[in-house]
């Protein structure tokens, strides 16, 4: 079976990237969707009785879920007025202390679990993370939803199936008017876009500026687009901010990635010393010994659990006859930051991924006319965009005369679900290019109702219907020179309102509106 794995994956990726007339919604994401349970792990009717801790609520958001009921049935999950028609469960056991450490924002200060190991049920809706459920007793649960933790109690072992029927009847007329049920259930769609643009700092050094946009399609209309200069991203435990901070020591400097929960009341005290360096910044890059040396880290992708970066050594002034710079690709676990230990591709995606990486590297070396020297560095890889998908790519570093060169190659392995949560294109790439010849990328919503077409100088926002872009466009967002999309996190239905309030609460001092 393993012998067939790589050829099959390779053919699938070729079909995807070729963008021909084949349906691109088939096998590309099949392997990364959480398995659907034949029997739901939870049954019966439950009530959300209280918020575990009042001060964990998002600023300006009332605990509206208190008093709502949750019905777990073979027909789906009904949480208040929100129906999950095709719920997916992932069950895992984790160390209680570790879980509490990473989710401490939603728990009281003195909270502790009774058992050293706990069971966590992760509930997905439309293949996207929805909430976490922690069984406490036979008739009690802890529900982590929208940055808050609630106490949930069972009120019946049975489910009144009429609640599902009434929900269907209530929406039947609307469904006949506007199309499929999936389209109705997702009238509100939002997306957090992370952007990176090169810039020249006041000190004369080149660097990057990051920003986050929040776009909402509500009842077929585009709301004013919000912007903040911070790089915000969602995780299961809430919203976080990712910053690139430069630490200097003597004639050397190094960029570190710092992550903070945006709802922290007080910033945790950090040690006076800078985070441990990953070694000599010039290692593997061939820089000179004099002048100011800097290990620059640029973000290429940010997800819920991992961040992909390019690591470049720069020295000023550049030695005569040498470029003085080079680059590697790395992926870090968010939970490991600000540490700089890169993840191996075999640890992230299995031994087959390492084999695919070695094959891709060998092909590139042959094209470059280079001989392989030493073993492959399985940490020298990252994520990049190609024709509407996030894909793995590796890098080869080599010398050409007195200049240090780099070349990238594709790795024919599908990124796992925990690396890229949503990685699906709901219209053919060729159709996008025919509509906008200058398109370099496109993002489509899980609800199949919104498309963001990226060109070299703007993002064009379209409504979608039956894998087609609908004219006229809803709006356009200008891009800065060299700006690239490094994050696209989607929200549907109830999530949209909560994400909007969270975004406004954080960015109320510096948000900008695009009409």
82-123 residue pLDDT tens? 788 778 888 888 888 878 876 777 788 788 888 889 999 988
Collect the ranges in the chain with pLDDT lower than 50: 1-38, 56-61, 169-170, 172-185, 265-290, 317-324, 508-515
CA separation for the pair 84, 78 (Å, rounded): 6
**Residues sharing a CB contact under 8 Å with residue 205, sequence separation 6 or more, in sequence order:** 294, 316
Q: Is the pTM of this model over 0.85?
A: no
Q: What's the pLDDT score for residue 339?
A: 92
Contact, 432 vs 442, CB < 8 A? Answer: yes
- The angle subtended at Cα 186 by Cα 185 and Cα 192, nearest 5°, is 155
Looking only at the bridges linking them, the beta strands covering 69-73 and 76-79 are: antiparallel
> Backbone phi, then psi, for 456, in 5-degree steps?
-70, -20
SS3 of residue 271 by DSSP? coil
Radius of gyration of the chain, Cα coordinates, nearest whole angstrom? 24
Q: What's the pLDDT score for residue 166?
A: 60
Q: Which two tokens stand for residue 13?
A: 């990726």
Contact, 328 vs 311, CB < 8 A? Answer: yes
Q: Please give the distance of CA 106 from its chain centroid, rounded to a whole number.
A: 21
Residue 310, CA distances (Å) to 33, 167, 300, 342, 363 in order: 28, 49, 7, 11, 22
- Find the length of the chain: 515
């Amino acid at each position: 079976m393993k012998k067939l794995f790589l050829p099959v994956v390779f053919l699938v990726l070729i079909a995807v990237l070729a963008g021909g007339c084949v349906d691109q919604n088939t096998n590309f994401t099949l392997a990364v969707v959480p398995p659907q349970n034949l029997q739901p792990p939870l049954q019966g009717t439950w009530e959300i009785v209280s918020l575990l801790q009042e001060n964990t609520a998002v600023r300006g958001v009332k605990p509206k879920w208190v008093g709502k009921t949750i019905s777990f049935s073979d027909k789906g999950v009904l949480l208040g007025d929100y129906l999950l028609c095709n719920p997916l469960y992932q069950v895992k056991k984790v160390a209680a202390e570790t879980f509490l450490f990473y989710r401490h924002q939603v728990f009281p200060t003195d909270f502790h679990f009774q058992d050293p190991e706990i069971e966590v049920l992760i509930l997905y809706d439309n293949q996207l993370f929805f909430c976490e459920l922690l069984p406490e007793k036979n008739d009690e649960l802890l529900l982590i939803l929208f940055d808050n933790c609630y106490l949930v109690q069972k009120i019946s072992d049975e489910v009144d199936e009429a609640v599902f029927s009434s929900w269907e009847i209530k929406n039947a007329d609307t469904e006949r008017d506007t199309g499929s049920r999936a389209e109705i259930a997702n009238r509100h769609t939002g997306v957090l876009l992370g952007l990176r643009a090169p810039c020249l700092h006041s000190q004369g050094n080149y660097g990057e500026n990051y920003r986050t946009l929040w776009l909402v399609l509500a009842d077929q209309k585009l709301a004013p687009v919000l912007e903040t200069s911070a790089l915000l991203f969602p995780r299961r435990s809430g919203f976080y901010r990712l910053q690139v901070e430069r630490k200097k020591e003597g004639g050397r400097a190094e960029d570190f990635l710092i992550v903070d929960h945006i709802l922290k009341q007080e910033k945790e005290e950090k040690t006076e010393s800078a985070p441990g360096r990953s070694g000599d910044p010039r290692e593997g890059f061939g820089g000179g010994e004099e002048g100011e040396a800097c290990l620059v880290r640029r973000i290429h992708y940010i997800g819920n659990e991992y961040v992909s970066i390019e690591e470049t050594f720069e020295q000023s002034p550049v030695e005569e006859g040498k470029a003085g710079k080079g680059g590697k690709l790395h992926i870090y676990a968010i939970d490991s930051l600000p540490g700089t230990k890169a993840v191996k591709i075999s640890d992230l995606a299995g031994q087959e991924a390492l084999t695919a990486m070695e094959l891709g590297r060998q092909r590139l070396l042959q094209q470059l006319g280079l001989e392989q020297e030493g073993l492959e560095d399985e940490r020298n890889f990252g994520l990049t965009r190609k024709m509407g998908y996030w894909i793995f790519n590796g890098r080869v570093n080599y010398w050409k005369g007195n200049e240090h060169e780099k070349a990238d190659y594709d790795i024919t392995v599908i990124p796992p679900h925990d690396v890229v949560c949503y990685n699906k294109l709901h219209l053919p790439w060729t159709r996008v290019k025919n509509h906008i010849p200058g398109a370099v990328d496109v993002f489509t919503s899980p609800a199949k109702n919104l498309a963001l077409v990226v060109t070299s100088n703007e993002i064009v926002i379209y409504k979608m219907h039956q894998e087609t872009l609908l004219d006229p466009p809803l709006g356009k967002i200008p891009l800065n020179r060299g700006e690239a999309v490094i994050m696209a996190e989607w929200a549907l239905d109830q999530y949209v309102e909560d994400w909007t309030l969270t975004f406004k609460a954080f960015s109320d001092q510096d948000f900008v509106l695009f009409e």
